[in-house]
Structure formats: structure tokens, C-alpha cells
Structure 1
Amino acid sequence: MPIGAPPLPHIDRILPINEKNAGVAVAAEESRSTGGVQSIARAFRLLEIVATNGGVMGLSQLAVESGFPLPTIHRAVRTLVDLGYLRQEPSRQYALGPRLLLLAESSSTMLNTLAAPHLRRLVDELGETANLALLDSDRIAYVAQVPGRHSMRMFTEVGRRVLPHCTAVGKVLLSTTAAPEVHDLLVRTGMPRYTDHTLTDEVSFGAELDRTRERGYAVDEGEQEVGVRCVAVAVPQVGPRPGARLAVSISGPAPRMTDELLAEAVPALHRAAAAIADDLA
């Protein structure tokens, strides 16, 4: 049975800032900061950039990605290091600091509470385990779950962090990520084989992302765990600035996760994802 869903929008890669357009980028950033404290806005922007580039960056890289002047970046980074939100590595690059764990823990609790009613509706409708996951640096982190009506222990449990190339939620989130960024992530993490179905080369994975982008959902065909099938859709981004990269999924044993159930699940997942996006707006 064909499985239909609206296609995910293609997201073009933002060109790196260079000397010719750096002033425009800074002016745009300052315009967005009107009415707020600009130094705070810039500090959070730098943390977002580090988080979306593997969690470790140098000052020159931050300048290219942000468009901020180096003296501004240096002051902001020094403050973030003093506060524990960044730390300096022996390489003199900067990595996300341990104090962010406090914010991450509170954020995960909030997301779990917010998503729970929508995940429960999915379980009531489809019977299988429903999950909410996010792309956290180079890993997929499961932040909320409502177990299905049938008892079965799977890798999808709250707090679990896995590589994205072998999960439906990872595929659907990477399908909305620019190809150079996907390449860099795969270089950093590798593509280890977990089962006979795991995609372990970048060409095949790229083709899978193309299919995911075209149909608007991703499927894990026993690629992380033998005998488990999963289908996922991305939670739409809301507002002018990017937020957490979230996806919602259902998972269960392959004999129950039939094509017919997936056909029923895809529109239900899109409804849940839209509802979660509305709650986050």
C-alpha cells in the first residue's frame, strides 16, 4: 500500500560569511536583536553555532559562521567560559561546557511533559510505542516516550543517545540538513554497522535521505535493532529562528509494523508533529 505524506521542504545551506557580506550579516543580527540585550542574543547565537557544528569550534570558525567581529566573539566566549557554558580545549578550540547540562535537563523535562499527551494519542490510535527525539550535536537523543499496548523492550528509551544514520528520526532530521553538514557529521561519527540492514556508506545514505525528503517521512527497517521497525516525521520549525531539531516516531516489532500500519501512521505522526510545534510556538 502506498504511503503518502506532504513532502518536507528543502532547506538550502546558508552561505558562509565572508568579508563582502559580513557587515550585512552583523547588521541583520543587530536588527533581530532590537528591543533586547544584544550581548545576550549574541552569546546564545554562538552557543547555537557551536552546538550545530559538532560541539567544538575555533574563534575563526565562529567568526565565519556568525559574521560577528573577532573582538566581540572573544569577549562573549571569555564570558561563557567563565560561566561554564563553554570550555577551552588544549587545541585552543572551544567546546560546549558542563553547565549546559543544567539547561538540557530542564529542557528535556519540559519536552517530555509537553509531548506526552500527543504521544499518548498516537499510542491510542496505533497501538505501538511513540517517541519524541531530537538531534543533539551529532547524536539522536530520545527525550519522551509513551510505551505501546504490547510489552516489548527496545533501544528507544528516554535518555538513550544513538547515531542518526541508523534511525528513522535521524534520517528524517538529516533529510532537512544541507548535504555538506551531513557529510561532516558522517565523517565525525562514522557509519558503524549494527545489523545486516544498516546503511554504512554515504552514497546509499544520501539516496535514502533523498527518498525521505520526497515522501516526508523516514523508515528504519531493522537498521538499529534486529526485528524492530520505526517510522518518523520531523516536527515543523516555528518562528524565524531555528529551535530544537525534533522528530516524532512510532516503533515496534516488524511483524506488527506492517505497510498498512505505516500508511495509517504517517498522517497521524504529521498531526502529532504539528500539534507539538504549535505547543512550542
Structure 2
Amino acid sequence: MADKPSGGVQSVERVFELLELITDAGGEVTLSELSNSTDLPLPTIHRLLRTLVALGYIRQLPNRRYALGPRLIRLGEAANKQLGSLARPQLKSLVDRLGETANMGVLDSDMVIYVAQVPSLHSMRMFTEVGKRGYMHATGMGKAILAQLDDDTVRGIVGRQGMPTPTPKSIGDVDTLLEDLKLIRQRGYSIDEEEQEVGVRCFAMAIPDAPTPAAISVSGPVSRVDQAFADKAVPLLREAARAISDELKQG
């Protein structure tokens, strides 16, 4: 098929295909890796990369690898804010009905970034706040997102980021993580059992059909966030996740 004129729909599709391939690879690739991941001709890939480098959306590193560029940061931050604003009414409803802090996070550069939060009325300082990043394997939302991905992708993420253990209860090896993800897929939600912060338990659920992997959660001290809390929270999380998914589709 002949190329459409510069600026046509096909060119836009190709640009975003390359950006997504680089993102899926962890934010950094070689030209040959890109070529092996797409049917685009090599000269086309090279031409598009040159344009993106000139615009600042891609960087060429000294080792000749291509990485996501700084101009994408502003776009991502704005998109995350919009996503957080969309989810906020559902998070507020969770807090009103459950009394504990509700969060939303998305997968960003192999970590989970918190894009929205409605805090509990209880005075308790926790790790989570908007803009904060967490390791995928050590957070409820991170594990809920990982459970939506295949095992090879999970291995790639934790291989690039490592698996530090913030608490004695954190998961520190990939095989144990993969076993936990199997359980999460079976029951439909994840549990952070004091894996990010001692004394804090979190229940989280992925947003179905989200354009970027995302999840919501409720968290609080283990003294209040117990099995009785879970019995009430899980159906409400599922309801909120579905409502956010429906709003994203309408947008």
C-alpha cells in the first residue's frame, strides 16, 4: 500500500504504533528491535523516529538506542489528571460508603503512578498520594494491573525495575509474584497484605477495558480493613471499576 501524504491518518497511526512499541519495551529500544516488532519498512521507521527526535518526543541515546522523550511527560501528566478527574466521583462514593481512602493508579514506565485519591476522614498518613510512584509487585493496584498482563510481560517489568521489599511481607521473587497473580486472576481482585506499608492493608481491582492499564483501590489500617470490610468493599470496588470503564468508553 502506498504511503498516504505526510500528516495523513496512516502517518499518525504509524507514529503512535512506534511510541506504543517503545513504551511496551520499557521505554527504550534499538532500531532493529522496533523493526522486528512491526511490519513497517525500515526506512519508514527511521524517518518517523528522526521526526520524533527532532520534536523531542523521542531521544536517541549515546548507545544509539531510542528512548521516550521529555515532551511526552507533559502530555502524560495532563492525561493522568484528566483520568483522575473522571474517576474522582467513584472514588468519593467508595470513601463515603466504606470510610477508608480510595485511590486510582495507572501503569507508567513499569511502575504504578497514583493519579487520583480521595482520603479517609480518619487521620492516618500513608504512602499513597497523587503523583507518587510505587513498585508494581509491592502495591495492591500494581498487582491488580500485573494480573491483567501475561507472565512474560510481568517478568520484563520486574526484571527492569527490580523487586525491592519495602516491608518484611513484600514479595521479593518473581515466581512467588506469579503465583499471587494467579490467585488475583481467579478471585478478581488483589490484596496488599502490609506489603507496601506495615499496618496497612489494601484491596484493589483493575479497570476493565481501560485504554491504559489502570486500577482502583481502598486501603486503611489492618485493624479496620479486615475480612468483614473486604466482604463489603469488593462488590463496591467492582461496581466502581465498571462505572469508570463505562465512562472511559463514552469519552
TM range (shorter): over 0.9
Instruction: Give the Å deviation of 1:185.
Output: 1.4
Instruction: Give the Å deviation of 1:66.
Output: 2.4
Structure 2: gaps (5+ residues)? none
Give the match's secondary structure for 2:219. strand
Per-residue displacement from partner, 1:166-220 (whole Å, max 9, x unpaired)? Answer: 0111111111111111111111111111111001011111100100111110000
The CA RMSD measured in Å over matched residues stands at 1.3
| 1:248 and 2:220 are equivalent in the alignment | no
Give the match's secondary structure for 2:202. strand
| CA contact 1:53–1:137 (8 Å) conserved in 2 | no
Amino acid at match of 2:25: N
Hey, what's the Cα distance between the residues in 2 that align with 1:270 and 1:97? 36
| 1:138 and 2:110 are equivalent in the alignment | yes
- Structure 1 segments, 4+ long, off by >3 Å, are none
Q: Structure 1-normalised TM-score?
A: 0.84
Hey, what's the Cα distance between the residues in 2 that align with 1:188 and 1:112? 27
Q: Which one of 9, 21, 41 corresponds to residue 13 of structure 2?
A: 41
2:155: which partner in 1? Answer: 183
Q: Superposition pairs for residues 67-216 of structure 1, below 5 Å? A: 67-216=39-188
Give the match's secondary structure for 1:170. helix
Q: Structure 2-normalised TM-score?
A: 0.94
Hey, what's the Cα distance between the residues in 2 that align with 1:216 and 1:62? 34
Hey, what's the Cα distance between the residues in 1 that align with 2:222 and 2:183? 21
Give the match's secondary structure for 1:191. coil
Hey, what's the Cα distance between the residues in 2 that align with 1:116 and 1:72? 41
Hey, what's the Cα distance between the residues in 1 that align with 2:173 and 2:192? 16
Hey, what's the Cα distance between the residues in 2 that align with 1:115 and 1:96? 27
Q: Which one of 209, 233, 251 corresponds to residue 205 of structure 2?
A: 233
Hey, what's the Cα distance between the residues in 2 that align with 1:232 and 1:225? 15
Hey, what's the Cα distance between the residues in 2 that align with 1:78 and 1:205? 39
Instruction: Give the Å deviation of 1:75.
Output: 1.1
1:23: which partner in 2? Answer: none
| CA contact 1:169–1:247 (8 Å) conserved in 2 | yes
Q: 1:263 to 1:39 in 2, by over 3 A?
A: same
Hey, what's the Cα distance between the residues in 2 that align with 1:159 and 1:139? 12
Hey, what's the Cα distance between the residues in 1 that align with 2:183 and 2:99? 26
2:33: which partner in 1? Answer: 61
Q: How many residues align?
A: 244
Hey, what's the Cα distance between the residues in 1 that align with 2:19 and 2:221? 39
Structure 1: gaps (5+ residues)? 1-26, 31-35
Give the match's secondary structure for 1:256. coil
Instruction: Give the Å deviation of 1:149.
Output: 2.1
Q: Among all aligned residue pairs of Structure 1 and Structure 2, give the percentage whose two residues are the same amino acid.
A: 50
| CA contact 1:116–1:146 (8 Å) conserved in 2 | yes
| 1:265 and 2:233 are equivalent in the alignment | yes
Larger RCO: Structure 1 or Structure 2 (Cα < 8 Å, ≥ 6 residues apart)?
1
| 1:279 and 2:247 are equivalent in the alignment | yes
Instruction: Give the Å deviation of 1:71.
Output: 1.3
